[in-house]
Chains A and B, each alone.
Chain A
Amino acid sequence: MSEMIAPASRVLDIGSGDGTLIEHLFRTRGCDARGIEIDMAEVTRAVAHGLPVMHGDADTDLAHYPDGLFDYVVLSRTLQAVERPQEVLRQMLRIGTRALVSFPNFGHWQVRWQLVRSGRMPMTPTWDRPWYETPNIHPCTIRDFFALCAQEGYAVERWLAVDDEGRQAPWRRFPGLANLFGEQALFLLRRA
């Protein structure tokens, strides 16, 4: 993910957790990287580690940043858990020139197969919480995401899917295959 971010750029990491990414971006790429995190224990850990992280919520707090403040706004594996994914993406591309979004792919064959075979909500290594306690209220597939980008007019600068082991999958030219075999997807978007 950090390879998609240009050195010395200004980055906001939404859902920054303990701040691993922002620390990596600061130390290896000289970025001015900041974080927003909803879990207070993680915020405290990150700030106590010297990282600029504020407690906040992707659904409500992005509105307080000025237009174009960041070169990149990052949302890692969080899009499926926000209340209004469409609005969060709009805010990301309002406050940042580019958005870097990763999410678990609900179109993976295991998910499809389990639902077809058992008729019950799938449980996989990626989708590992039962329906009644998962925070993932807005799952989507890679194809869904392409469709949303087209609808909103976002340019997809780069995208890739990774398999169960985190290896980059070789289906770059075939979104249909990526949607079947990719466990997770990563998109670099730009305001068109």
Chain B
Amino acid sequence: MLRPIRGKGGGTFAHGAVARRGHAAYANGIMDHLDLPSRDTHQSATFDGRFMLECGAALPSVTIAYRTYGTLNAARSNAILVCHALTGDQYVAEPHPGTGKPGWWSQVVGPGRPVDTDRFFVICANVLGGCMGSTGPRSPRDDGPDAPPWGTDFPPITVRDMVRVQSLLIDRLGISRLFAALGGSMGGMQVLEWAATFPDRVFAAVPVATAAFHSAQNIAFHEVGRQAIFADPDWAGGEYWRHGTIPARGLAVARMAAHITYLSEQALTRKFGRRQQIPAAGATSLFGDMFEVESYLRHQGSTFVNRFDANSYLTITRAMDYFDLAADHDGDLARAFRGTATRFCIVSFDSDWLFPTAQSRAIARALNRAGANVSFVEIASDKGHDAFLLDEPDFHRTLSGFLSGCAEHARL
């Protein structure tokens, strides 16, 4: 699993890039095509000293970008960690500073929302390997003033590495136990990993629309996306920053393919059907007319490349592919949770074919085998995997009720 780490590339990379400690480097450099967060839009914590990754490689130091909402109580017992999905970020409950779009879970997290920031202290951190300020492939390799970014030499990371870094952040914030960890998709994987790795530090866990391992089908879709990026000449073997380019076409195709997996057949039919639109003047279309669904996917692809780094996409999709919680516990998922006192709420959506209910049911049954306290709900929705991000009143009621019930048990 360990990829050999090449020595520092020749010092050809300068471009006036700023390699500031504790912050995403290259904000002023060649990578400024990204709608980057600035220092002002998020908090960050840097952990000096080597951080050993599961693959055996070490990062010289780790920086994690995060946002908090609400107030930590005196007992430091009301903290909720929200874990984001593959292309999510720390801006869970406020507009994204780059795109201006509402926070990715602003319907779920906020004052009076199911995750009520009037009551709870909510933390959301950009994952290790991400591109929104946390250490990842776009971070400089070292502290040198002209250090080039890691690029594809960034060591392979795992979901557990992400979670271990988050635990350092929780330590730094002076929180010994989270009231809850919650997240959907890859965020749900992190929640499961939290509960398995730090059972005494999570009172309640809500893994949503997720699985205890990445299936062959999921890996297959990721591989299509990665190959699209590799096939883009602008990717330049992962060193696109040297050429002042980004693999926009490849990354857009990766996003388009992935986006299909986030929706359901019913949702696509409902939103687009077979409707066609007249191409805008000057736009070229191979076949003349364009189906609305094509236009929609192209839009999804083209906006994505402005907010996400291709090498980060490669790193994080790989981390998801590696995820297999049972394999880390002698092949028995129940062992991962043996003796746990954490209260779980497993949520799936009936039209989600990327992380189908059967995967959630397998988690619930493993938790039963471990004797854990588990709630398990499948929400009826035609919106596919994306449902966890959308307006789903039954899901929001479930989340809110579960957290309230747990707060009562935690005497919050």
Residues of A in contact with B (beta carbons under 8 Å apart): 32, 34, 40, 43-44, 47-56, 61, 64-66, 69
Q: Is the CB of B380 within 8 A of A47?
A: no
Binds A, one of B83-91, B120-128, B211-219, B394-402: B394-402
Q: Which of A40, A54, A61, A66 contacts B375 (CB 8 A)?
A: A54
Across the A-B interface, how many residue pairs have beta carbons closer than 8 Å? 67
| B408 contacts chain A at the CB level, 8 A cutoff | yes
- Interface bracket on B: 20 to 34
Bound: A48/B368 CA distance, A: 20
B365 touches A40 (CB 8 A): no
A49 touching B401, Cβ below 8 Å:
yes
Q: Quick one: given A65-B371, A69-B371, are A50 and B408 in contact (CB under 8 Å)?
A: yes
Q: List 9 A-B contacts (CB under 8 A).
A: A43-B376, A44-B377, A44-B394, A47-B401, A48-B397, A50-B402, A50-B406, A52-B375, A55-B377
User: Is the beta-carbon distance between B402 and A40 smaller than 8 angstroms?
Assistant: no
The answer to whether B266 has its CB under 8 Å from any CB of chain A is no
B405 touches A (CB below 8 Å) = yes
**Which among B370, B379, B398 has the greatest number of chain A C-beta atoms within 10 A?**
B398
Q: Does the CB pair B401–A43 fall under 8 Å?
A: no
Residue of A nearest to B345 (CB): A47
* A56, chain B: closest CB distance, angstroms: 7
B142 to chain A, nearest CB (A): 49
Q: Of all chain B residues, which has the CB nearest A23?
A: B405
Q: How far is the CB of A68 from chain B (nearest CB, A)?
A: 10
- Residues of B near A55 (CB, < 8 A) are 361, 376-378
Give, as a whole number of angstroms, the nearest-CB distance from B170 to chain A.
Answer: 25
A32 contacts B373, C-beta separation under 8 Å: yes
- What separation, in Å, do the CA atoms of A65 and B369 have in the docked complex? 5
Lowest 4 A-B CB distances belong to which pairs? A50-B405, A48-B401, A54-B376, A48-B397
Tell whether B374 is near chain A: CB-to-CB under 8 Å: yes
B374 touches A52 (CB 8 A): yes
Q: Mark B327-346, 1 if CB is under 8 A from A, else 0.
A: 00000000000000001011
Chain A residues closer than 8 Å to B379, beta-carbon distance: 44
Which residues of A are found within 8 Å of B371, using beta-carbon distances? 65-66, 69
Residues of B within 8 A of A65 (CB): 368-369, 371
CB of B364 within 8 Å of the partner chain: yes
CB distance from B221 to the nearest CB of A (A): 27
B398→A44 contact, CB < 8 A: yes
**Quick check: is B404 within 8 A (CB to CB) of the other chain?**
yes
Question: Contact check: which of A53, A61, A69 meets B365 at CB < 8 Å?
Answer: A61
- How far apart are the CA atoms of A66 and B376 in the complex, in Å? 18
Contact, CB under 8 Å: A48 / B400: yes
